[in-house]
Chain A
């Protein structure tokens, strides 16, 4: 009796956590299927059903959800394509999406590391010098108003002319999107200690170095980590955009591009889903690092 109670309690807790997410997913799938039927109907009627008089609604639904190149593929088509790509081919095959995800995430991670370093450097400079704050900050902000789509080809061409190809140019574009949230958040975080905390260290006759490492840096971590989550997601976008103008052979961006060349909508969608999953994994990684690096639990 008590055991079933406990099981019911655990199931209840699980439902409480997963329930809302599942409901949203179910609604989304339903809308998606409806949209797929609606959007693909015109083509199906024109190409197939118009020559077969007496077709029923069931025929329409069946055909709209199994087209080769639908306007909007159905969720199960994308899922099948993903499964086929991931399990049907060796990991180093260009037909395996995991291979492309690995290429893109290596550029993202390198760009994220460079962007975080650059953002931290800018933040430290700004926090330590009013002059630099006034001269640097406008440029930092202006840099983000230039669309990354315009910057990406320029970066690829210039770095390519210097003999740099492959991961590095993509990482530079990724860095360009990454550094901004990190810089802004770190400026705020490094300035977050109050007068009392600073005076406390003053009474210890603490050096500027001690004040920085023992007070300013730990106080900035709660500001830094949300920015890192934003930064790594932005960095992923940067890496994918960086793969578009290169005619790159590999990477999720290249996969998106070849998909749209050949009108292979299912391939585009599975690359999209893959990049969304990759984004979740990357931000999840940052969240894990946050849990590990910020002691003190809830505050």
Chain B
């Protein structure tokens, strides 16, 4: 059964309104984002895809208040981006796991909870629960260097689940992993999303990854960074990796590829 598009009345988790990000430079200013507007509804899985330099990571960082806008407004859960960050509205997964080598797996997942002010015992219980959700029970006592790259990134996802944010932001989290590991983690991530329906904003430059994971794919293009096309996926939410061989999947992937080429235009 195809995913029914959420009703338009569903509240916007992320509201990006005419946002520009301009880096002033001596010779010529760099426009990382040019007048971008995007609304992400609650429970959506939105992928930002495009070639390097298209501003997909900048857009994610703007939503996370890691980057300041030059013009326009960003609202997360109805709050300005900065206040949303201070209210700990989202979890963020970086390109690299960024685990602290002096903490165990459990200690790393506990980190945001400790900062949030939970007492040690409570933090441990919550962290153990998060670890179980990414399939890492039994590894809580290990140190990061004892884990494979894929496991480390799962720990960082468990850590981002920290204080149960409604919004999960992921910046090419599986970019550094081999394809087999990436496929497995994609499927796990999809199951997690299917179960919990957390809003996810996911940056990638892999077309199959974007099509497989997303309910909506935002295709971006560089110089200046802008949105070329937004593609609704409509694939069933209980899809498995096998769906990649179906004509429906191929059709959506084709649309994404065409949009990417159009974005490149005369280049």
The interface of chain A, by Cβ under 8 A from chain B, is: 194, 196-197, 199-206, 210, 214-215, 218-219, 221, 294-299
A298: chain B residues at CB < 8 Å are 145
Q: Are A218 and B94 interface neighbours, CB within 8 A?
A: no
Q: Are A296 and B101 interface neighbours, CB within 8 A?
A: yes
Q: Are A204 and B116 interface neighbours, CB within 8 A?
A: yes
Interface flag for B166 (CB, 8 Å): no
Q: Are A204 and B96 interface neighbours, CB within 8 A?
A: no
List, sorted by A's number, 19 A–B pairs whose CB atoms are closer than 8 Å: A196-B95, A197-B100, A199-B92, A201-B115, A202-B66, A203-B66, A203-B85, A203-B91, A204-B115, A204-B116, A205-B88, A206-B115, A214-B115, A294-B102, A296-B101, A296-B102, A296-B145, A297-B143, A298-B145
Partner of A205, one of B86, B94, B100, B101: B86
**Smallest CB-CB A-B distances: 8 pairs:** A203-B92, A196-B98, A205-B86, A218-B102, A296-B143, A206-B115, A296-B102, A204-B115
In Å, the complex CA distance between A214 and B103 comes to: 10
The secondary structure that dominates the B interface is: loop
Sample of 11 further A-B pairs with CB below 8 A, known A197-B98, A210-B115: A196-B98, A199-B92, A200-B92, A200-B94, A203-B85, A204-B162, A205-B86, A205-B87, A221-B102, A296-B103, A296-B145
Q: Are B85 and A205 interface neighbours, CB within 8 A?
A: yes
Could you say which of B90, B96, B102, B145 has the most chain A C-beta atoms within 10 Å of its C-beta? Answer: B102
Q: Are A203 and B98 interface neighbours, CB within 8 A?
A: no
Total contacts A to B, CB within 8 angstroms? Answer: 58
Q: Are A196 and B96 interface neighbours, CB within 8 A?
A: yes
- Chain A residue nearest to B160 (CB atoms) is A203
State how many residues of chain B have any CB contact under 8 Å with chain A. 26
- Chain B residue nearest to A297 (CB atoms) is B143
The secondary structure that dominates the A interface is: helix
Q: Provided the pairs A196-B94, A215-B100, A296-B143 are in contact, do residues A203 and B64 lie with their beta carbons within 8 angstroms? A: yes
Interface flag for B62 (CB, 8 Å): no
Interface flag for B229 (CB, 8 Å): no
Interface flag for B183 (CB, 8 Å): no
B88: chain A residues at CB < 8 Å are 204-205
Could you say which of B91, B100, B103 has the most chain A C-beta atoms within 10 Å of its C-beta? Answer: B100
B162: chain A residues at CB < 8 Å are 204
In Å, the complex CA distance between A210 and B115 comes to: 7
In Å, the complex CA distance between A234 and B112 comes to: 40
* Closest beta carbon of chain B to A194's beta carbon, Å: 8
- Chain A residue nearest to B94 (CB atoms) is A196
B96: chain A residues at CB < 8 Å are 196
A297: chain B residues at CB < 8 Å are 143
Q: Are B85 and A214 interface neighbours, CB within 8 A?
A: no
Could you say which of A199, A202, A204, A297 has the most chain B C-beta atoms within 10 Å of its C-beta? Answer: A204
Q: Are A200 and B98 interface neighbours, CB within 8 A?
A: yes
Q: Are B90 and A203 interface neighbours, CB within 8 A?
A: yes
A205: chain B residues at CB < 8 Å are 85-88
Q: Per-residue CB proximity of B146-184 to A under 8 Å, as 1/0?
A: 000000000000000010000000000000000000000
A206: chain B residues at CB < 8 Å are 115
Interface flag for B35 (CB, 8 Å): no
A204: chain B residues at CB < 8 Å are 88, 111-112, 115-116, 162
Query: Of residues 109 to 134 in B, which have CB atoms within 8 Å of A's CB atoms?
Result: 111-112, 114-116
In Å, the complex CA distance between A206 and B114 comes to: 10
Query: Of residues 54 to 90 in B, which have CB atoms within 8 Å of A's CB atoms?
Result: 64, 66, 85-88, 90
Q: Are A199 and B114 interface neighbours, CB within 8 A?
A: no
- Chain B residue nearest to A196 (CB atoms) is B98
Q: Are B111 and A214 interface neighbours, CB within 8 A?
A: yes
